[in-house]
Amino acid sequence: MKNSRALWSNSLRPLLGKALLVSSIVMGLSACGAAKNEMPDSGKTAEEENTATAEYLTRDIRDDIFYFVMPDRFHNGNPDNDQGDPTRPISYGGFDNTSKWAFNGGDMRGVEAKLDYIQDMGVTAIWMTPLLRNKAVQSDGFGHHGYWVIDFTEIDPHFGTNEDLRSLIDAAHERGIKVFFDIITNHTADVIKYKECHNEDGTFISGKPGCKYKSKADVAAGDTYTPFILDQEKGVKVPQWLNDPKYYNNQGDSFWQGESAVHGDFVGLDDLDTANPEVVSGMTEIFKNIITEFKPDGFRIDTVKHVDLSFWQSFGPAIVAHAKSSGIPNFHIFGEVYDGNPAVLSKFTTAGKLPSVLDFSFHFNVKDALFHNKDVNRIGQLFDNDDYYRDADSSPDLLMNFLGNHDAGRVGLFINQGFADASKAEKLQRSVLGHAFMYMSRGIPVVYYGDEQGFTGDGGDVDARENMDPSFVAEYNDNLLIGTSRTTADDNFDQKHPIYQSLKNFAKVRSEHQALRTGIHQNRLIDNKNRIVAFSRIDKQEMREYLAIFNMDTETRKVALNVDSLSYSSVLGNNAKVNQGSLTTTIEPLSFVLLKADQVHKGSEIFDVKMSEKYTDNERVFLPVNLSFGSQQALQVADVSFYAVDESGAETFLSNDDTSPYRAVLLPEQLEGVTQLKVIVKDSSENEMSKTFKL
């Protein structure tokens, strides 16, 4: 958005309410003033650092809070590498800090210099956009984002050296912070050209702005492209096997539908034939070597849905096994599947055997409800659909929750789109409330760098990739930020910023209460008329209910709902009263309360289990069961396991569900040859009931 600057008034702070702001005392600002080549001192004793180093290796991924960084736009720690490596022309040039498209100068030393800033916000894991050596300049732009890899064995010279990356990882690990790499297996940089649509110099033949996709049927009928490589780009890819066109699909440009989504070139990038066993083994070996050399704590995988599913079935388990053998016991993988449909997302965690994905369904539904003022019923449906993700090696609490990112756009953008005329205070309130919802929900929070500073942007892609250092990009600097009078022309490592301070507080609360990290989720109230969303989180060991109630309306709301505990204490926000099993509390506009039951939940005694009729929807088979409990409670807690029984009587575990509605949601192929369904129910008192049903 193009707006004149507006002053941020301290008088707006009280409007946020004590539920959303922490003390204005700010600690640990020394990193903000660090010189560009100065590395921060963690300030910890040797004993504390040794403890942190040991702890990060074994820490449950659900205990983490992620910070997603685009290094080129974060902090410039070494201006000497701004242009890359002049000895390798393909990875040289492209620096222009006045252009939103070009390299802007951030690097690994810059990230390391700001570890104090990152850690003080409560972050325990850093995910960075791809770091491997890129083709710096292509016909359609610059590789500042890192997704045009040419060499899978070393860091891009614009970002520093392999030694710089190791230094960052070591420094982060000393603080107990994990480091995640963004990796690509779908494609490499655009090197392969086609005689049918390119001139000899690699430019497009006049009248052909791209290379039309040729289907499998076209190829089978002999209608194919003839690949060639420019002399100056022959042999530039590393490892060497990547230079052979036979390992690529060579079918032209994807149009994002049907088979082209998997076999077409991604905006001209060379699309690997990921169904080819040699490509599977070659790419697996590449990333095993990355783990061996750099010891990252996990991978985020780009463009997952554009890769053959069979690739993931092999790649994911092999990578996790190699990491464990390399001394990384909790190596975590999550994929980017750019789709809001849980049936599409979950296909890659179930059939595809990936542990997790970025939860685009969370992103779209929270954006629509809170930032675009659409109905809040979608939030209830979001969590009801968690059953799609339940199987032997994945679950909804492993999903990566996020509000905005480098492709879709920022929280501030969505707020400006949905509430262009809202006050500064309301926009700040919405941003803080959205982040609070992410931190309290099931799943793992991911904060996009700059959102904690109220960045807004003008759109997605390069319009959402502002600089944290003082920016020289005019399109960024004329934007009005949320919660501050600064613009992106200023240094924006401000630890006093109200969003930063709120996230710091939420991280502290999340770390202090196990149920918020690993507790089961139960929808408790979805009131579309009054725009109230309430859910419970309950740790199965502690058995105390945490009740989060969000007011997504601009009016104060009085909320009442049935509860089991005799009283609740406030963790964040207003107190609540309980009278004869009914809890009441008042919630200010665009605010929330987090309450903790003072009494241990009595438990739910299982009485009976019945199976309803199975049905098919959204390319899944639903097997619902109805549970009867011995006593009626507001919050019933049970654990239901589903097993397939074939004609021989052999049992195969299918899924587990610990939230209502209780059901198995399965791919049709999982039920092939299955004649019976065995259901085992355990209540919170460890009583067990088993029943077998015919299918």
DSSP string, 304-328: GGGS-HHHHHHHHHHHHHHHHHTT-
Going by pLDDT thresholds of 50, 70 and 90, the confidence category of residue 45 is low
Regarding predicted confidence, which is higher, 399 or 604? 399
Q: What is the mean pLDDT of residues 339-343?
A: 97
Q: Is residue 251 within 8 Å of residue 214, measured between CB atoms?
A: yes
Three-state DSSP class for 227? strand
CA pair distance 310, 626, nearest whole angstrom: 35
Q: What is the mean pLDDT of residues 488-515?
A: 98
φ and ψ at residue 632, rounded to 5 degrees: -85, 125
Q: Is residue 500 within 8 Å of residue 432, measured between CB atoms?
A: no
Strands (DSSP E) contained in 369-424 are 400-402
- Answer yes or no: is pLDDT of 320 > 50: yes
CA dist 1 to 45, 478, 683, Å?
46, 8, 53
Q: What is the mean pLDDT of residues 61-87?
A: 98
CA pair distance 312, 274, nearest whole angstrom: 9
CA pair distance 7, 483, nearest whole angstrom: 9
Question: Which two three-digit tokens encode residue 356?
Answer: 């997790």
CA dist 409 to 268, 364, 404, Å?
23, 12, 6
Token pair 């654990």: residue: 639
Token pair 């060499």: residue: 151
Could you list the active site residues? 302, 336
> Beta-carbon neighbour count of residue 244 at 10 Å?
12
Q: Is the pTM of this model over 0.85?
A: yes
Handedness of CA 114, 116, 120, 124 (dihedral sign): positive
Q: What is the mean pLDDT of residues 464-485?
A: 98
Q: Is residue 657 within 8 Å of residue 664, measured between CB atoms?
A: yes
Predicted pLDDT of residue 53: 56
Predicted pLDDT of residue 48: 53
φ and ψ at residue 283, rounded to 5 degrees: -70, -35
> Beta-carbon neighbour count of residue 2 at 10 Å?
8
Three-state DSSP class for 365? helix
Question: Which two three-digit tokens encode residue 301?
Answer: 């995988």
Mean pLDDT rounded to a whole number for the chain: 92
Predicted pLDDT of residue 632: 80
CA pair distance 251, 342, nearest whole angstrom: 29
| Residue 138: strand pairing partners | 141
CA pair distance 373, 418, nearest whole angstrom: 7
CA pair distance 22, 17, nearest whole angstrom: 10
Q: What is the mean pLDDT of residues 415-437?
A: 98
Instruction: Show the DSSP H helices in 206-276 as ranges.
Output: 216-220, 260-263
φ and ψ at residue 213, rounded to 5 degrees: -65, 135
Q: Is residue 123 within 8 Å of residue 507, measured between CB atoms?
A: yes
Question: Which two three-digit tokens encode residue 639?
Answer: 């654990």
Going by pLDDT thresholds of 50, 70 and 90, the confidence category of residue 171 is very high
Rounded to a whole number, what is the distance in angstroms from the first to the last CA of the chain? 56
Going by pLDDT thresholds of 50, 70 and 90, the confidence category of residue 6 is very low
Q: Is residue 115 within 8 Å of residue 98, measured between CB atoms?
A: no
Three-point CA angle 42, 174, 120, nearest 5°: 45
Predicted pLDDT of residue 270: 98
CA pair distance 180, 333, nearest whole angstrom: 9
- Answer yes or no: is pLDDT of 373 > 80: yes
Q: What is the mean pLDDT of residues 422-426?
A: 97
Instruction: Report CA dihedral (502, 504, 510, 511) to the nearest 10 degrees.
Output: -160
List pLDDT tens digits, range 277-310: 999 999 999 999 999 999 999 999 999 999 999 9
CA pair distance 478, 688, nearest whole angstrom: 63
Q: What is the mean pLDDT of residues 60-70?
A: 98
Predicted pLDDT of residue 464: 98
CA pair distance 637, 643, nearest whole angstrom: 20
Instruction: Report CA dihedral (172, 174, 177, 182) to the nearest 10 degrees.
Output: 40
Handedness of CA 379, 383, 384, 389 (dihedral sign): positive
Going by pLDDT thresholds of 50, 70 and 90, the confidence category of residue 198 is very high
HEC states along 496-559?
CCHHHHHHHHHHHHHHHCCHHHHCEEEEEEEECCCCEEEEEEECCCCCCEEEEEEECCCCCEEE
HEC states along 17-30?
CCCCCCCCCCCCHH
- Answer yes or no: is pLDDT of 30 > 70: no
CA pair distance 671, 654, nearest whole angstrom: 9
- Answer yes or no: is pLDDT of 622 > 60: yes
| Residue 558: strand pairing partners | 586
Predicted pLDDT of residue 208: 80
CA pair distance 9, 105, nearest whole angstrom: 33
List pLDDT tens digits, range 215-253: 999 999 999 999 999 999 999 999 999 999 999 999 999
Query: Looking at residue 480, what DSSP letter applies?
Result: P
| Across 17-21, 29-33, 214-218, 320-324, least confident range | 29-33
- Answer yes or no: is pLDDT of 13 > 80: no
Instruction: Show the DSSP H helices in 533-623 as ranges.
Output: none
Q: Is residue 47 within 8 Å of residue 440, measured between CB atoms?
A: no
Q: Is residue 348 within 8 Å of residue 414, measured between CB atoms?
A: no
List pLDDT tens digits, range 121-163: 999 999 999 999 999 999 889 999 999 999 999 999 999 999 9
Q: Is residue 112 within 8 Å of residue 40, measured between CB atoms?
A: yes
Question: Exposed, middle or buried: residue 222 (CB in 10 Å: 0-12, 13-18, 19+)?
Answer: exposed
Number of H helices, E strands in the chain: 16, 32
Three-state DSSP class for 396? helix
Going by pLDDT thresholds of 50, 70 and 90, the confidence category of residue 342 is very high
Percent of the chain clearing pLDDT 90 (strictly above) = 86
Task: Give the H/E segment covering residue 271.
Answer: strand 270-271
Going by pLDDT thresholds of 50, 70 and 90, the confidence category of residue 683 is confident
Predicted pLDDT of residue 26: 27
Predicted pLDDT of residue 44: 53
Which domains, from first to last, does the chain contain?
21-187+278-512 (3.20.20.80), 188-273 (no CATH), 515-597 (2.60.40.1180), 606-694 (2.60.40.730)
Predicted pLDDT of residue 631: 80
Q: Is residue 503 within 8 Å of residue 510, measured between CB atoms?
A: no
**Type of residue found at 399:** L
Handedness of CA 687, 398, 166, 466 (dihedral sign): negative
Going by pLDDT thresholds of 50, 70 and 90, the confidence category of residue 52 is low
Going by pLDDT thresholds of 50, 70 and 90, the confidence category of residue 641 is very high
Regarding predicted confidence, which is higher, 562 or 19? 562
Going by pLDDT thresholds of 50, 70 and 90, the confidence category of residue 633 is confident
**Type of residue found at 110:** G
